[in-house]
Structures are given as C-alpha cells and as structure tokens.
C-alpha cells in the first residue's frame, strides 16, 4: 500500500460521508449507512478502509467473503458484513454463519433454506428482500407483483425482514426504480432501503435510501 492509496481511500470515504450527511440534513432523518462494496478488491485496499474506520462491507460471493473476512472478526468486533449477491440454497448455511445481513432474499425456496440454516447456526440474520424493479429476465430479485407473497411466506418461517434492496437496470434512469422500491417498502411497513451505488447513491438517498452500496467510488476500480 502506498501513501497515495491511503489518502485517496480515506479522502474518498470522507467525501462520500460528507455527501451522505448533507443529503440527510436536506431530507431530515438519519444519514444513510455507507456499505463499502469490497468484492474483487485487493486486500491492501480493504486494510486501508479498515484503518480509515470503515466497518460495514458488502460482498457478493459467499466463498470470497468467507476467505476475506472470517478471520477478521476478532480484530474488528463491530464489523458488519452484508451479502449483496445472489445466494444459492446450498450456500445458505455458510451464509447464515458468516453474514450479519442478507440483502438478497428473492424466492420462497431460499427463504426455507435460510430459516433452516439460521436455526442450525443458532442465530437470526436479518434479511432484505431483493426486488427486480426493472423486471429484467436475467436479473435476480422477486418481481414487484410477487413481493407480498414472499414476505408473507418468509414471516411465517420466522425470518426477520428488515427492508428491501434493488439494482436498477443499467440503461435506465434509476430514479423511478428507487421511487418504486421506496413505495413498496412503505406499503409493507419495512424500514430499510438498500439502493444506490457509486454512480447514483446521492440520488438514492433523495428517494429514501437507508443503505448505499458503494464499491469503485470508495476503493477505486475493481480488478477484472
């Protein structure tokens, strides 16, 4: 790690947090939580972010997240790990043991697997339901029309649903998708809204995001 890397990650983080604060004071209410999306980022950048005080991280793969984070809990007891990528039912146990929040519940079968996995792990992991607001065939997330039924089933299984998450289509303005997600969350009495990434987190906050997921804008471009 060079000093330049440290300065730029710490500086970018400070700028993002400043933007989040400013947006919160315009709207009133608590500032959104900055989720640092650490997927595919080199370890030295993560160290830098930790040193700068960043504690909430988003990962999209269970295995990669486990390798990176499972040994870190002892040093950073206030670490919060959020799964933001699609979850296969055969990884539910691993996910329930590792993550503090699972943002990507999107089907009844996964709800059942998670309920079982949490029972086995002896911990309740709060979940968000991922909504496919753009109704894109290739994208995960429950369709808006299926949301009520999925929430109902998940609640019956004893899952704790804290909110909703979405990833708007890349080629469309994100605003209408953020507005739809906010409306759905309100209709179901859910408090958390995970929406907005590097390019549009400030807009997402204007629509009520409580959690913004920022990767490249915080850490720099991902290795591909």
Ligand X SMILES: *Cc1c(COP(=O)(O)O)cnc(C)c1O
Tokens of 155: 């609640």
Residues 119-158, one symbol each (x = binds ligand X by CB under 6 A, - = not), give ----------------------------------------
**CB nearer ligand X, residue 60 or residue 133:** 60
Of 95, 110, 114, 167, the one binding ligand X (CB under 6 A) is 167
Q: Which residues contact 206 (CB under 8 A, 6 or more apart)?
A: 23, 26, 27
The least distance separating ligand X from the CB of residue 161, rounded to whole angstroms, comes to 18
Q: How many residues bind ligand X (CB under 6 A)?
A: 13
Told to check if 13 binds ligand X by CB under 6 A, we report no
Q: Which stretch binds ligand X (CB under 6 A): 43-51, 145-153, 179-187, 213-221?
A: 213-221
Q: Which residues in 175-204 contact ligand X (CB under 6 A)?
A: 197-198
**CB nearer ligand X, residue 185 or residue 213:** 213
Q: Which residues in 21-40 contact ligand X (CB under 6 A)?
A: 37, 39
- Residue number, nearest CB to ligand X: 215
The least distance separating ligand X from the CB of residue 85, rounded to whole angstroms, comes to 6
Of 60, 132, 133, 210, the one binding ligand X (CB under 6 A) is 60
The least distance separating ligand X from the CB of residue 68, rounded to whole angstroms, comes to 15
Of 84, 110, 150, 174, the one binding ligand X (CB under 6 A) is 84
Told to check if 217 binds ligand X by CB under 6 A, we report yes
**Total length of the chain:** 224
In our burial notation (b when 16+ CB lie closer than 10 A, e otherwise), range 98-137 reads bbebbbbbbbbebbbbbbebbeebeeebbbbbbbbbbeee
Instruction: Pick the closest to residue 54 from 204, 222, 218, 194 (CA basis).
Output: 218
The least distance separating ligand X from the CB of residue 195, rounded to whole angstroms, comes to 9
Told to check if 214 binds ligand X by CB under 6 A, we report yes
Tokens of 157: 């299984």
Binding footprint of ligand X on the chain (CB under 6 A): 37, 39, 60, 84-85, 167, 197-198, 213-217
């Amino acid at each position: 790690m060079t000093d330049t890397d440290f300065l730029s990650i710490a500086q970018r983080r400070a700028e993002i947090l400043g933007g989040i604060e400013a947006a919160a004071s315009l709207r009133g209410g608590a500032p959104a939580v900055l989720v640092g999306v650490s997927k595919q980022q080199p370890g030295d950048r993560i160290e830098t972010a930790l040193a700068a005080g960043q504690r909430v991280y988003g990962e999209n793969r269970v295995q990669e997240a486990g390798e990176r984070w499972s040994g870190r809990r002892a040093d950073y007891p206030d670490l919060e790990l959020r799964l933001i990528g699609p979850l296969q039912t055969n990884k539910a146990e691993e996910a329930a043991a590792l993550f503090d929040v699972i943002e990507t519940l999107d089907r009844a079968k996964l709800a059942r697997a998670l309920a079982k996995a949490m029972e086995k792990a002896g911990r309740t992991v709060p979940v968000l339901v991922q909504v496919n607001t753009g109704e894109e065939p290739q994208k995960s997330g429950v369709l808006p029309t299926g949301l009520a039924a999925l929430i109902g089933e998940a609640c019956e299984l004893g899952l704790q649903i804290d909110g909703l998450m979405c990833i708007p289509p890349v080629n469309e303005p994100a605003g209408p998708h953020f507005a739809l997600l906010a409306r759905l969350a309100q209709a179901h009495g859910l408090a958390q809204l995970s929406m907005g990434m590097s390019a549009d987190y400030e807009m997402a906050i204007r629509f009520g995001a409580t959690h913004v997921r920022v990767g490249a804008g915080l850490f720099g471009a991902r290795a591909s």
